[in-house]
Amino acid sequence: MANESPDFFKILQILAEHEVEFIIVGGICAVLHGAPVSTFDLDIVQSRAPENIKHLINFSHFLILVHFSSFYSGSSASESLACPIL
């Protein structure tokens, strides 16, 4: 599982579920615009509005809870999220 690529769609979905306002930049943005490049990362820029920072913090807490719950449940964080994002 350590060699799996992150599921970018799942990451974006979780950000959206936490109402984080962001834009996609970098290589993935280029791919979405049709550039013939390969990339293995996801670059985003979040809004710095106070309300959005609260959403981003909630998103971060969610990731931490998923990561640490894996130590107690016996499942990995990637299994909990269906993608290896931590």
Over range 14-31, report the average pLDDT.
Answer: 91
Using CA atoms, how far apart are residues 6 and 78, in angstroms rounded to an integer? 9
Please check whether residue 84 is in contact with residue 11, taking contact to mean a CB–CB distance below 8 angstroms: no
State the Cα torsion 45-57-48-82 to the nearest 10°: 20
pLDDT band at residue 4 using 50, 70 and 90 as cut-offs: low
Tell me the pLDDT band of 77, cut-offs 50, 70 and 90.
very low
pLDDT for the residue numbered 48 = 95
> CA torsion angle for 81, 21, 46, 32 (degrees, to 10)?
70
What percentage of the chain reaches a pLDDT higher than 70? 74
